[in-house]
């Protein structure tokens, strides 16, 4: 959840302490050897970190040990890891710098060094480490002896902050006025409902954008000139968005208005409300035809080309590109790791979508980033799995007490999940079948004939190791 924040914290000791606490929150008991292996450090280093943690933990948090069995965390607090992050962000110079650069366009270095009790060389070394982590965002922090500032486009800076801060919206290190922003944003959504413009959104995602935009505008950090045209969708939501930002004392400029709208559009869920669905059908009938043609060219079956939910998802995708191709690609790059998953998991679908867009496009969208292709892969694959689930077939070849066998069959099916269809079968029936390498066979009988499936041999009561082998085969069907 806090992956980017941990990447940005340059202090190794702080990162280790956070890792230890996150591990203890997720695991009831962990040995120091396991912690040392996890972080690739010595056990002595872990002991030192644990000793520091005992002194630093807030009230109601306590580190304890169970002899040689390991250490565990005792707490009656309900805030969980958020409270821990509040402590360690204040200890991280990287986070202090990022907080200061969020609130101001430029920071006076002499004042900052005096307030933090630092030398210029220490700050310079820290900024160098931070810039290595910022390369993926096409950003860098500019530093000389007089001031610190951001280097890079303002839209890229806000995208970075959004990715960094979404997990911290209820945490006061960055979001001192979160409650006010949250209240105003909820009023904005309720107002849309009264106007017949209700939309299903990721609320925290949208509130975070609202917070970042208001803070950056107040700091005098304006977005660059954007290429856009006012269309039906933009016009429908513009007045309400301007009223929302006015509550923060901001009169949106033309470019900031469009950027605020696009941020709001990015928060829309791909499960459209009836109001938005009707709005899109009236305003963009040609996009629905385009989406259907696109699916046909992909070679999708009739049930998928006619699926209204998928068509609406594809229309929303096209609308985002109509609003701004540049911002669409930038926003999708915010989650670059999704591209890796899509390419690895669905290579044929990825390549097919890529080729279809390159040759014939979709409603004028001829050139999109690989990140956009991965977005389309997710939309299409979600619909395929929903409309035409194709679970991997697994077979239980088992001789035993009938009641136990039926119980075991149900337990193994529940363990496998819905991506696997587990059926009971006899050894004779199995010998007559033609199986593929993806099929799974669970058996407590020796299989003496050639069989292409992957076999896991079970005891009467399956052992932990046998179940782990089965889970490992099933896991290939999941992320």
Please check whether residue 408 lies inside any domain of the structure. Answer: yes
Q: Which of 49, 71, 89 is the last residue before a domain boundary?
A: 89
pLDDT at 289: 93
- Claim to verify: residue 101 and residue 69 sit in the same structural domain: no
Q: How confident is the model at residue 68 (pLDDT cuts 50, 70, 90)?
A: confident
pLDDT at 397: 93
- Claim to verify: residue 377 and residue 296 sit in the same structural domain: yes
- Claim to verify: residue 71 and residue 117 sit in the same structural domain: no
CATH code of the domain containing 464: 3.40.50.2300
Please check whether residue 46 lies inside any domain of the structure. Answer: yes
- Claim to verify: residue 78 and residue 109 sit in the same structural domain: no
- Claim to verify: residue 292 and residue 380 sit in the same structural domain: yes
Q: How confident is the model at residue 203 (pLDDT cuts 50, 70, 90)?
A: very high
H helix runs in 27-177, sequence order: 32-39, 43-56, 81-91, 93-103, 109-116, 120-134, 154-165
**Left if phi > 0, otherwise alpha if psi is -120 to 50, otherwise beta: which for 181?**
alpha
pLDDT at 24: 83
DSSP bridge partners of 442: 396, 456
Please check whether residue 163 lies inside any domain of the structure. Answer: no
- Claim to verify: residue 381 and residue 420 sit in the same structural domain: no
Domain that holds residue 53: 3-89
HSE value, Cβ hemisphere, 13 Å, CA-based, for 438: 10
pLDDT at 183: 93
Q: Which of 352, 387, 422 is the last residue before a domain boundary?
A: 387
- Claim to verify: residue 81 and residue 120 sit in the same structural domain: no
Helix (H, G, I), strand (E, B) or coil at 93: helix
Q: How far apart are the first and last CA of the chain?
A: 16
131 CB burial (10 A radius; 0-12, 13-18, 19+): middle
- Claim to verify: residue 411 and residue 366 sit in the same structural domain: no
Cβ-contact 258, 248 below 8 angstroms = no
Q: How far apart are CA 349 and CA 335, in angstroms?
A: 20
HSE value, Cβ hemisphere, 13 Å, CA-based, for 109: 16
Question: How is residue 85 written in tokens?
Answer: 């992050």
Please check whether residue 257 lies inside any domain of the structure. Answer: no
pLDDT at 80: 57
Instruction: Say how many residues make up the chain.
Output: 479
- Claim to verify: residue 70 and residue 53 sit in the same structural domain: yes
Q: Which of 152, 171, 188 is the last residue before a domain boundary?
A: 152
Please check whether residue 176 lies inside any domain of the structure. Answer: no
195-199, 209-213, 255-259: least confidently modelled range: 195-199
Please check whether residue 183 lies inside any domain of the structure. Answer: no
- Claim to verify: residue 379 and residue 307 sit in the same structural domain: yes
Phi, psi of 328 (to 5 degrees): -55, -50
pLDDT at 73: 82
- Span 365-407, pLDDT tens digits: 767 788 889 999 999 999 998 998 889 999 999 998 999 999 9
76-90, 121-135, 266-280, 464-478: least confidently modelled range: 76-90
- Claim to verify: residue 374 and residue 295 sit in the same structural domain: yes
What is the dihedral angle through the alpha carbons of 335, 336, 342, 348, rounded to the nearest 10 degrees? 140
Q: How confident is the model at residue 81 (pLDDT cuts 50, 70, 90)?
A: low
**Residue appearing with tokens 């914290």:** 9
Please check whether residue 20 lies inside any domain of the structure. Answer: yes
Mean pLDDT, residues 129-147 taken together: 93
Mean pLDDT, residues 427-437 taken together: 89
CATH code of the domain containing 125: 1.10.10.10
Q: How far apart are CA 30 and CA 23, in angstroms?
A: 8
Close Cβ partners of 78 (under 8 Å, ≥ 6 residues apart): none
Into how many domains does the chain fold? 4
H helix runs in 360-422, sequence order: 370-387, 402-416
Stronger pLDDT, 332 or 2, i.e. the higher one: 332
- Supply the DSSP symbol for 59: T
**Residue appearing with tokens 């970190």:** 49
Residue 79 has pLDDT above 80, yes or no: no
Please check whether residue 38 lies inside any domain of the structure. Answer: yes
């Amino acid at each position: 959840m806090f992956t980017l924040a941990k990447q940005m914290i340059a202090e190794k000791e702080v990162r280790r302490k956070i890792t230890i606490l996150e591990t203890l929150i997720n695991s009831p008991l962990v040995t120091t050897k396991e912690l040392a292996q996890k972080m690739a450090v010595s056990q002595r280093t872990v002991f030192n970190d644990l000793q520091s943690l005992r002194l630093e933990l807030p009230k109601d948090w306590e580190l304890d040990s169970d002899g040689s069995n390991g250490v565990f965390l005792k707490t009656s607090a309900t805030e969980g890891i958020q409270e821990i992050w509040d402590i360690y962000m204040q200890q991280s110079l990287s986070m202090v710098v990022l907080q200061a650069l969020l609130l101001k366009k430029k920071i006076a270095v002499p004042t900052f060094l005096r307030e933090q009790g630092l030398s210029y060389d220490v700050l310079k070394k820290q900024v160098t480490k931070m810039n290595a982590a910022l390369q993926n965002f096409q950003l860098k922090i500019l530093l000389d002896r007089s001031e610190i500032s951001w280097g890079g486009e303002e839209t890229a800076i806000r995208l970075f902050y959004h990715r960094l801060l979404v997990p911290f919206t209820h945490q006061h290190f960055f979001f001192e006025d979160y409650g006010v922003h949250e209240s105003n944003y909820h009023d904005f959504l309720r107002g849309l409902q009264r106007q017949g413009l209700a939309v299903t959104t990721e609320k925290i995602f949208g509130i975070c954008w609202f917070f970042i935009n208001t803070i950056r505008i107040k700091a005098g950090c304006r977005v660059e000139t954007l290429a856009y045209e006012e269309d039906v969708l933009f016009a429908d939501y513009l007045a309400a968005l301007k009223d929302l930002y006015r509550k923060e004392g901001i009169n949106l400029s033309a470019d900031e208005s469009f950027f605020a709208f696009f941020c709001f559009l990015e928060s829309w869920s791909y499960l459209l409300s009836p109001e938005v669905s009707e709005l899109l059908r009236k305003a963009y009938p040609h996009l629905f035809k385009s989406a259907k043609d696109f699916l046909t060219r992909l070679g999708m079956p009739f049930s998928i080309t006619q699926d209204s939910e998928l068509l609406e998802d594809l229309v929303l995708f096209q609308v985002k590109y109509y609003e701004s191709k540049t911002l669409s690609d930038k926003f999708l790059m915010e989650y670059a790791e999704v591209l890796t998953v899509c390419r690895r998991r669905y290579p044929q679908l990825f390549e097919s979508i890529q080729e279809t867009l390159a040759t014939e496009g979709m409603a004028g969208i001829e050139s999109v980033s690989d990140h956009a292709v991965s977005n389309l892969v997710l939309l299409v694959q979600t619909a395929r799995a929903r409309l035409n689930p194709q679970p991997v077939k697994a077979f239980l070849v088992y001789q035993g007490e009938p009641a136990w066998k039926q119980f075991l069959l149900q337990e193994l099916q529940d363990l496998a999940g819905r991506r696997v269809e587990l059926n009971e079968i006899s050894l004779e029936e199995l010998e007559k079948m033609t199986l593929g390498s993806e099929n799974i066979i669970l058996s407590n009988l020796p299989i003496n004939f050639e069989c292409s499936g992957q076999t896991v041999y079970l005891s009467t009561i399956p052992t932990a190791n046998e179940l782990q082998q089965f889970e490992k085969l099933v896991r290939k069907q999941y992320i």
